[in-house]
Amino acid sequence: MSIHTTNEQALAFKALHVPGRPLILANVYDTTSAKAVASLPACKALATASAALSVVNGTDDPNLSLETQLTAVRDIAAVARSFGKPLTVDLQDGYGERLEEAITGMIDLGVAGINLEDSDQKTQAMFGENVAVQRVKRALAAAAKAGVPDFVVNARSDTYLRGGSLEEAIRRGKLYLDAGATTIYILNGSQPLTRESIKEIVDALQGKVNIAVRLPKPDDAPDTLSSKDLADLGVARISIGPQLYFLGINAIKTAATKVLEG
């Protein structure tokens, strides 16, 4: 894919992030899942989930190397090209001093955007505020230098995930938007994101927000938020992380159990 085409994909991808009419991503992890999702009429773009991609490539999230990422994404990017869909990659914490190398490598494959975390993948420690802001700027500068000035950064603000306050996650999110991020991704750890807290995030960040939605289960509580609920709250992007992978594995186990146990 030419650099001009990659930037066109990035522009198209960025335009899909509309508060209240969110881009919905069913995150993939290999060529099979990418083909299955990309073939769906409702699929507007492809996105990887590093936790799932790690497992199918024989490692785990903290130990997913840049080289393994690039090799895996190369095949997924080929699927994205064949279906004419933009691709965004979960780049985790950006590989430290190799961030620019990682961005250039992804752009060479035709990737239109990334997730970028503000906590260390191995230690889970938060990066300092100035370092985190500079990392967003570094990623975008590297993309522009590679010929993709409209590259999309979905900046993860992990304070709340790591046990800190939602207010701090929002405050950091504002800084990342000022640094050029397209959207801010706030995850919850043991602290749930309620309808009220999501509304607080959306209002503070003008809807430039990515929220993860949980795939529905039979025993879900009536107030479990759906993609429609999140759209009504005004988010611009919805994703599901590695849930497709775990759902698929559970389906395989169930079917295999029936075969093996007769």
Domain count for the chain, please give it. 1
Q: Is the pTM of this model over 0.85?
A: yes
Q: Find the CATH number of the domain harbouring 54.
A: 3.20.20.60
Report the C-alpha gap between 258 and 262 in whole angstroms.
6
On the question of pLDDT at 8 being above 80, the answer is yes
Q: Cα separation of 111 and 10, whole Å? A: 8
- The residue range of the domain holding 14 is 3-261
Model pLDDT for residues 193-231, shown as the tens digit of each residue: 999 999 999 999 999 999 999 987 766 666 689 999 999
Q: How far is CA 24 from CA 16, 45, 68, 214, in A?
A: 9, 8, 26, 12
246 pLDDT above the threshold of 80: yes
> Tens digit of pLDDT for each residue in 55-112?
999 999 999 999 999 999 999 999 999 999 999 999 999 999 999 999 999 999 999 9
